[in-house]
């Protein structure tokens, strides 16, 4: 019943379906259980950002089907695996060799 987007200004927005009305109440957003997750923004993924990271460093993210891990890609060509949710800042993810 909801979808979220990450804007070019690095803001997370949550909208109601089908009206598209933006939801701004943090308590309501916190209660949402997401079917999928591909956002690089939000309290649930704050730990994917390395210390001293620029806004554009982490460019993609995707939660596994089981909802237990999140995989990220960055500007340095690294693919990292984290536990999900990843709410603690500056967590060391596992590097994935491709």
Q: What is the largest CA-CA distance in the chain?
A: 42
Which pLDDT belongs to residue 95?
85
Which pLDDT belongs to residue 92?
85
Which pLDDT belongs to residue 8?
87
- Kindly give the confidence (pLDDT) of every residue in the chain, 98 residues in length, as a single tens digit, with 9 standing for 90 and above: 999 999 989 999 999 999 999 999 999 999 999 999 999 999 999 999 989 888 889 999 999 999 999 999 999 899 999 999 999 999 888 888 76
């Amino acid at each position: 019943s909801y979808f979220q987007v990450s804007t070019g200004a690095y803001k997370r927005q949550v909208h109601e379906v089908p009206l598209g009305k933006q939801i701004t109440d943090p308590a309501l957003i916190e209660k949402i259980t997401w079917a999928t997750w591909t956002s690089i923004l939000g309290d649930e993924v704050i730990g994917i950002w390395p210390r001293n990271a620029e806004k554009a460093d982490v460019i993609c993210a995707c939660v596994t089907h089981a909802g237990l891990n999140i995989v990220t890609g960055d500007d340095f060509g690294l693919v990292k695996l984290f536990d999900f949710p990843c709410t603690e800042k500056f967590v060391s993810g596992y590097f994935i060799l491709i």
